[in-house]
């Protein structure tokens, strides 16, 4: 018999190695986490008691395990029946491990095929399905998978959030694009919207199309119907030539001459539109019925022309939607190039046949219109490299949308960003701005409770873990609070939190001192303390450590949770106790309380990960599960903060104060832990988006999220500097 040791980056990888070496009937002897990942001890079934002793099925150990000798079947005969039962259970788990990966691969392939059939290019389709969340890995093509796919596409397509803001912004709007794309009709439709909102007096139309027969007359008819003036401008004339004649006109729409994207005069045309001091907003029109290759070339050439003329081209309007067989190709172009879609035109009527871009509805329509294709084509497309590198602007907008989602989700995230803004400033300036920032943070309405960290240094470091405020929804605020800025003395600290922030829930490491406990009880505030198993309490007239009371406690059942980046289950039990709290001058006082005892096990292996104990006042009753889990899950914060502290080395960041660096590190840790713990779909989508930035998943999901967030913040300044994704409301 030979026992073999297998080490993988995760349990699935280790299980794969077991199957390759020993087959599906292998017996698992042990399963534990190690620094490099997961370690599994296994043996072939034929080597177990009662199995066939066929020498051809024996496999030599990859890494020999020390034993008394080569002939050890006899040692296994002494194993208990319980151990053999556990081995059979682990064998069943080995079989089940094969399913999720196959299903995930199948779902990913089917989603990819759906996107390609709809008309999305392989580049975008591959990018989307590569971010399939772990939570959907065991799903088929069901409603939840389709809902996730719809959300991913919606998040990548930027629409006009506020039509009123766009129409209220004064200035000149120029519609540009190739010949026959519908610029004149779209000009009339857009002008009608301005007239309906602002009246006829401040609106004017301009045409530069002197090449097409009847072009002036067509727009002139629209101007008469709308009762607004129309001006003609030669294609080689700058807009500034008309400014004097258009004095008093606050909203001007220019219908430009249609030019092929390959015409070298496109640059000259855009340059003339930029002439003078009047700002001109360029809007590119895209024909939904055009070939994808043509649309790609139109966007690239016109954007290059705008750049050469010193202008920005970031807005577009889709025309001729009613003539398009599929909507996905044009939406694909808009997404990949990071354009903002303002309106969609779908007919000749003015102004009825143009509407504000309804992004969710457009994505739904695109997914419904598909052309069947061979599954092998989708499978081949899944492994092919993208034909074109992603648009920098499009990627920048995606990162900006991720930051926006984090701001909206987490209180204190904007303050965390403000701390990162201190990088590169002189230390004196950093200190001044940090003082101003922290003096006003958190606001009273932001904090309901406090997770008070231990009042000692984190092991191996010269800093203490900052305290974390809890919002009214029970979520941690993104920017923690430095310990050295808190009021000294526990009771004084609690009173200050109540006075400044109206904090009414307190989670401690260790029991509060007698003075603080008396104050908490006098204010009837909620508090709970995580204590050691050696904490002595009084129960049934006897004084003994909490760890010895497990058999006397009342079981409350198991609860699913996450613990240190992995899936776990916690078994809770409770019993009434009395604790003695020490006050000043050696005075002690007994407090009637309730204790909770727990065992945390790995969901996959059943291995015990930790044992935890809590004490809270008896008046709070038995329903404290949410508080207990909040403290349990807060165990990961010091380790995550330490990892982030090491990641944010001064050599990489430049000149930075230690307290600024600690706030940055603890903020990353808090956000990463929050996203790892959250169970809603929005958090699932954010996790998938962020994990894609890390370039692959690490052993612990919270660590991978931490690395992704660090990268996100590293490129954040570049995004802001280049203006990628940062756009005015209109």
- The answer as to whether 665 is a domain residue is yes
- The answer as to whether 468 is a domain residue is no
* Shared-domain flag, residues 696 and 565: no
* Shared-domain flag, residues 646 and 592: no
- The answer as to whether 207 is a domain residue is yes
pLDDT of residue 614: 96
* Shared-domain flag, residues 185 and 73: no
pLDDT of residue 109: 86
pLDDT of residue 393: 55
- The answer as to whether 531 is a domain residue is yes
Count of beta carbons in the 10 Å neighbourhood of residue 502: 11
Cβ atoms of 40 and 5 closer than 8 Å: yes
Count of beta carbons in the 10 Å neighbourhood of residue 399: 20
Range(s) of the domain holding residue 665? 391-443+635-730
* Shared-domain flag, residues 285 and 380: no
* Shared-domain flag, residues 380 and 403: no
C-alpha distances in angstroms, 427 versus 462, 657, 667? 20, 6, 20
Cβ atoms of 668 and 709 closer than 8 Å: yes
* Shared-domain flag, residues 191 and 211: yes
Which residue stretches of 503-624 are H helix?
A: 514-523
- Considering its fold, how many domains does the chain have in total? 5
pLDDT of residue 645: 95
- The answer as to whether 620 is a domain residue is yes
pLDDT of residue 334: 93
* Shared-domain flag, residues 491 and 590: yes
Collapsing DSSP to helix, strand or coil, 559 comes out as: strand
Instruction: Write out pLDDT tens, residues 154-202.
Output: 988 999 888 888 898 888 888 888 888 888 889 999 999 999 998 988 8
- The answer as to whether 121 is a domain residue is yes
* Shared-domain flag, residues 349 and 495: no
For residues 255 and 233, what is the distance between their CA atoms, to the nearest angstrom? 10
Of 356, 380, 405, the domain-final residue: 356
* Shared-domain flag, residues 144 and 168: no
State the pTM of this model.
Answer: 0.70
pLDDT of residue 271: 63
Residue ranges in the chain modelled with pLDDT below 50: 1, 49-72, 74-82, 92-104, 376, 378-390, 724-729
pLDDT of residue 590: 78
Instruction: Write out pLDDT tens, residues 46-75.
Output: 555 444 443 333 333 344 444 444 443 744
Of 339, 356, 373, the domain-final residue: 356
Distance between terminal CA atoms of the chain? 74
- The answer as to whether 172 is a domain residue is yes
Of 625, 653, 672, the domain-final residue: 625
- The answer as to whether 95 is a domain residue is no
For residues 90 and 29, what is the distance between their CA atoms, to the nearest angstrom? 8
CATH number at residue 327: 3.40.50.300
pLDDT of residue 212: 54
pLDDT of residue 96: 41
* Shared-domain flag, residues 505 and 644: no
* Shared-domain flag, residues 193 and 228: yes
- What token pair was written down for 205? 């139309």
Phi-psi region of 82 (alpha: psi -120 to 50; beta: other; left: phi over 0): alpha
3-state helix, strand, coil in the chain (%, to 5): 45, 20, 35
The mean pLDDT value of the chain amounts to 81
pLDDT of residue 718: 59
Kindly provide the b/e burial profile for residues 181-194, where b requires at least 16 CB atoms within 10 angstroms of the residue's own CB.
bbbbbbbbbbbbbb
For residues 536 and 543, what is the distance between their CA atoms, to the nearest angstrom? 6
pLDDT of residue 370: 76
Q: What percent of the chain has pLDDT over 70?
A: 78
Question: From the DSSP assignment, how many helices (H) and strands (E) are in the chain?
Answer: 24, 22
* Shared-domain flag, residues 304 and 167: yes
């Amino acid at each position: 018999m030979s026992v073999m040791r297998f080490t993988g980056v995760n349990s699935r990888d280790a299980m794969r190695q077991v199957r390759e070496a020993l087959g599906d009937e292998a017996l698992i002897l042990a399963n534990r986490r190690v620094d490099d990942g997961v370690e599994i001890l296994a043996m072939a079934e034929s080597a177990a008691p009662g199995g066939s002793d066929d020498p051809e099925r024996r496999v030599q150990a990859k890494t020999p395990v020390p034993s008394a000798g080569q002939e050890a079947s006899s040692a296994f005969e002494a194993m208990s029946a319980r151990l053999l039962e556990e081995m059979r259970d682990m064998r069943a788990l080995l079989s089940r491990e094969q399913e999720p990966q196959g299903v995930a691969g199948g779902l990913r392939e089917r989603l990819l095929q759906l996107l390609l059939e709809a008309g999305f290019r392989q580049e975008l389709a591959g990018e989307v399905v590569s971010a399939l969340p772990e939570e959907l890995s065991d799903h088929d093509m069901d409603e939840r998978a389709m809902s996730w796919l719809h959300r991913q596409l919606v998040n990548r397509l930027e629409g006009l959030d506020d039509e009123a803001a766009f129409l209220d912004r004064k200035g000149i709007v120029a519609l540009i694009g190739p010949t026959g794309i519908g610029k004149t009709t779209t000009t009339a439709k857009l002008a009608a919207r301005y007239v309906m909102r602002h009246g006829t007096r401040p609106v004017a139309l301009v045409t530069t199309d002197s090449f097409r027969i009847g072009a002036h007359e067509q727009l002139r008819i629209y101007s008469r119907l709308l009762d607004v003036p129309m001006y003609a401008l030669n294609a080689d004339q700058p807009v500034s030539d008309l400014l004097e004649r258009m004095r008093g006109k606050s909203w001007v729409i220019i219908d430009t001459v249609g030019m092929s994207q390959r015409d070298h005069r496109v640059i000259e045309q855009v340059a003339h539109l930029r002439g003078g001091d009047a700002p001109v907003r360029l809007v590119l029109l895209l024909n939904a019925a055009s070939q994808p290759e043509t649309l790609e070339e139109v966007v690239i050439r016109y954007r290059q022309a705008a750049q050469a003329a010193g202008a920005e081209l970031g807005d577009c309007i889709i025309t001729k939607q009613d003539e398009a067989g599929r909507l996905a190709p044009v939406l694909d172009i808009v997404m990949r190039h990071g354009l903002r879609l303002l309106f969609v035109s779908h007919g000749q009527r003015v102004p009825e046949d143009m509407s504000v871009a309804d992004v969710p509805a457009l994505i739904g329509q695109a997914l419904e219109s598909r052309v069947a294709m061979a599954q092998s084509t989708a499978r081949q497309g899944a492994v092919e490299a993208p034909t074109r590198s992603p648009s920098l602007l499009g990627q920048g907008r995606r990162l900006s949308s991720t930051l926006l989602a984090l701001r909206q989700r987490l209180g204190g995230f904007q303050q965390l960003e403000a701390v990162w803004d201190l990088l590169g400033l002189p230390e004196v300036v950093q200190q001044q701005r940090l003082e101003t920032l922290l003096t006003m943070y958190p606001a009273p309405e932001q904090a309901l409770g406090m997770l008070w960290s231990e009042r000692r240094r984190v092991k191996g470091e010269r800093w203490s873990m900052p305290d974390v405020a809890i919002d009214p929804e029970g979520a941690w605020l993104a920017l923690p609070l430095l310990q050295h800025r808190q009021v000294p003395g526990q009771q004084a600290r609690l009173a200050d939190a109540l006075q400044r922030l109206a904090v009414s829930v307190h989670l401690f490491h260790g029991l509060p001192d007698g003075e603080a406990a008396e104050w908490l009880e006098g204010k009837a505030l909620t508090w709970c303390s995580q204590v050691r198993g050696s904490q002595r309490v009084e129960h049934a007239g006897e004084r003994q450590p909490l760890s010895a009371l497990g058999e006397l406690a009342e079981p409350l059942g198991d609860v699913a949770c996450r613990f240190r980046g992995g899936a776990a289950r916690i078994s809770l039990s409770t019993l009434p106790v009395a604790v003695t709290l020490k006050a000043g001058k050696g005075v002690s006082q007994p407090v009637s309380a309730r204790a909770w005892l727990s065992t945390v096990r790995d969901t996959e292996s059943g291995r015990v990960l930790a044992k935890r104990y809590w004490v809270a006042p008896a008046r709070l009753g038995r329903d404290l599960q949410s508080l207990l889990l909040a403290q349990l899950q807060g165990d990961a914060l010091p380790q995550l903060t330490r990892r982030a502290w090491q990641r944010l080395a001064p050599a990489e960041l430049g000149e930075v104060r230690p307290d600024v660096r600690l706030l940055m590190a603890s903020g990353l840790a808090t956000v990463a832990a929050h996203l790892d713990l959250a169970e809603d779909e929005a958090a699932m989508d954010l996790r998938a988006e962020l994990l894609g930035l890390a370039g692959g998943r690490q052993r612990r999901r919270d660590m991978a999220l931490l690395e992704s967030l660090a990268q996100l913040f590293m490129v954040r300044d570049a995004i802001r500097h280049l203006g990628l994704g940062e756009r005015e409301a209109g």
